Structure formats: structure tokens, C-alpha cells
């Protein structure tokens, strides 16, 4: 016999997919679900956890379980694309705000991430991405000045990659990526519309030129309700 929480999970998931529980609205409370399904609180919580793990709901502190839009924005994990290249699929209205553009001596952490020499200079770029009126991505970019001598706010607001490839005639080749989930920092709360969300998804990028020179380290910080991270894998046969 199937676990009762899985039966409840599937019934609620179907209601979400059918639009009975629209995106952005709250699910009924745990107590209401207990009564509706004649189930214990533990069983309801297991079902809600399963819904959260599979991207149907987001538990928000003080707000309950919020139904997510099944049509989240696809963020390609394997691809190496700029926000400008990705933006056409990210909503009807998208704006990039350049919050910081500074030439700095990197601290020990940035030195380590960028493999930068002590005393070298690094561009520090903070950009906030607003999609359909909500600030949901916060990008922290660090780029070695030895490769990119000049950066302007206009370049950063448009596309740094476009500038590097078209103006500087340098070939960006590959990136190493790490994806983690963290509690929001004070900077996250300052720059993003987190609206009570208790975590952010962080994509760390180490980006290289075609001669394998590391030139950029980025932390792309995302509000978790708006993105699904997609990848494509092919099994190799020997």
C-alpha cells in the first residue's frame, strides 16, 4: 500500500498543475489540510516537504506554503552565456542596475578565487537584475585588470562578455561552476527583493580564456522561487 503522504502529495501537485492552486497564492494551512485529508500533522508535513523538494511550493517564513509557477525561468547550468543573451527568455521586462564598479586590490578570498597575485588590481562589479519589476538576481563579478584594462558602467549594464569578445577580441572558452544554497547575506537583503525567502541559490563561476587563463570569478545569487537550473547529460559508451 502506498504511503499516505505520497497520495496527498500527488493530489496537491495535480491541483497545482491544473491551476486550482494558482502560482503566488498560499496553500491551505497545515490544520486545514489535516482536516481535508483526514491525516496527521506529520503526514501533511511530509507531503509539503515533498512538494517543496519537487518545486511545486516554497515555504516562506511567516507566510506559509506559497505555490510556485511551473513556468520558472530556465537557467542553463552547463552553458556559458551572458545575462543579455539569456534575458529574452526571462520575462517581458528586464533591467540591469550597476550598483558598484570599482578597481580594487582584492582581499585574500578574492585573491584565492581568482588566483590573483598580491598587489594586483581587480575590477569589482555589483549588478542587480530586475525581471518583470522584481530584483531577483544579484551578480558579484571580479575580473583581472591585467586582461581587461578598462570597464565602464555602460559596458557593465550591457554585456561584459560582448565587450571582451567584440572589442578586445579575446575568446572566452569555458567555465567551472559550483551551485550551493545559502542563507541570505545583508548584501542579498539590500540588493534583492527577497520578500521573506530564507535562502538564495548561489552559482559560483570561474571563467577562462581559450589559453586556460582564469580571468573572472562570479557569484550569481538568485531568489529561489524564480529559477530552475537545467542541465543536459549524455551517457558515454565505451
pLDDT per residue over 51-105, tens digit each? Answer: 877 667 887 777 788 887 655 555 555 555 556 655 555 555 678 999 999 999 9
Smallest CA-to-CA distance from 202 within 233, 227, 172 is with 227
Reduce the DSSP state of residue 127 to 3 states and report it: strand
Buried b (16+ CB within 10 A) or exposed e, 81-98: ebbeebbeebeeebebeb
Read off the DSSP letter of residue 30: H
Q: Which residues contact 225 (CB under 8 A, 6 or more apart)?
A: 58, 66, 68, 72, 197
CATH 3.40.1410.10 in the chain, residues? 73-230
Decide if 192 contacts 135 (C-beta within 8 A): yes
Task: Check residue 80 and give its pLDDT.
Answer: 54
111-125: average pLDDT:
93
pLDDT band per the 50, 70, 90 thresholds, residue 231: low
CA–CA distance from 113 to each of 47, 62, 156, 224, 231 (Å)?
Answer: 40, 37, 21, 24, 24
Whether the full predicted model's pTM is greater than 0.75, yes or no, is no
Task: Check residue 147 and give its pLDDT.
Answer: 95
Question: What percent of the chain has a predicted confidence (pLDDT) above 70?
Answer: 82
pLDDT digits (tens, 9 = 90+) for 134-143: 898 999 999 9
Decide if 69 contacts 24 (C-beta within 8 A): yes
Task: Check residue 1 and give its pLDDT.
Answer: 46
- Quote the mean pLDDT of the chain: 84
Which residues sit opposite 54 in a β-bridge?
none
- Of 82-86, 177-181, 195-199, 229-233, the poorest mean pLDDT is in 229-233
Record the cell numbers describing residue 215, joined without a space.
580571468
Q: Is residue 149 scored above 80 in pLDDT?
A: yes
What is the Cα–Cα distance from 24 to 199, expressed in whole angstroms? 18
Smallest CA-to-CA distance from 222 within 72, 7, 92, 79 is with 72
Decide if 62 contacts 196 (C-beta within 8 A): yes
Q: Is residue 111 scored above 70 in pLDDT?
A: yes
Task: Check residue 196 and give its pLDDT.
Answer: 80
Beta-strand runs (E) in 7-121:
57-60, 64-67, 73-76, 94-104
For domain 73-230, give the fold. Answer: Chorismate lyase (3.40.1410)
CATH 1.10.10.10 in the chain, residues? 4-67
pLDDT band per the 50, 70, 90 thresholds, residue 236: low
Task: Check residue 70 and give its pLDDT.
Answer: 55
Task: Check residue 76 and give its pLDDT.
Answer: 53
The answer as to CATH 3.30.450.20 being correct for domain 4-67 is no
> CA Rg, the chain, in Å?
21
Amino acid at each position: 500500500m502506498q504511503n499516505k503522504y505520497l497520495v496527498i502529495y500527488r493530489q496537491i501537485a495535480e491541483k497545482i498543475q491544473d491551476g486550482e492552486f494558482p502560482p503566488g497564492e498560499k496553500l491551505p494551512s497545515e490544520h486545514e489540510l489535516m482536516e481535508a485529508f483526514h491525516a496527521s500533522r506529520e503526514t501533511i508535513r511530509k507531503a509539503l516537504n515533498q512538494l517543496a523538494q519537487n518545486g511545486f511550493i516554497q515555504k516562506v517564513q511567516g507566510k506559509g506554503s506559497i505555490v510556485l509557477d511551473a513556468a520558472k525561468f530556465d537557467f542553463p547550468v552547463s552553458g556559458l552565456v551572458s545575462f543579455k543573451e539569456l534575458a529574452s527568455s526571462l520575462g517581458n521586462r528586464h533591467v540591469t542596475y550597476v550598483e558598484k564598479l570599482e578597481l580594487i586590490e582584492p582581499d585574500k578570498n578574492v585573491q584565492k578565487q581568482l588566483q590573483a597575485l598580491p598587489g594586483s588590481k581587480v575590477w569589482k562589479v555589483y549588478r542587480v537584475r530586475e525581471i518583470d519589476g522584481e530584483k531577483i538576481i544579484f551578480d558579484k563579478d571580479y575580473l583581472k585588470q591585467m586582461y581587461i584594462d578598462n570597464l565602464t558602467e555602460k559596458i557593465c549594464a550591457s554585456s561584459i562578455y560582448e565587450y571582451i569578445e567584440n572589442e578586445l577580441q579575446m575568446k572566452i572558452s569555458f567555465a567551472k561552476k559550483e551551485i550551493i544554497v545559502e542563507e541570505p547575506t545583508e548584501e542579498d537583503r539590500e540588493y534583492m527583493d527577497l520578500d521573506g525567502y530564507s535562502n538564495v541559490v548561489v552559482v559560483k563561476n570561474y571563467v577562462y580564456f581559450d589559453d586556460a587563463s582564469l580571468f573572472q570569478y562570479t557569484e550569481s545569487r538568485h531568489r529561489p522561487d524564480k529559477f530552475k537550473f537545467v542541465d543536459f547529460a549524455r551517457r558515454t559508451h565505451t
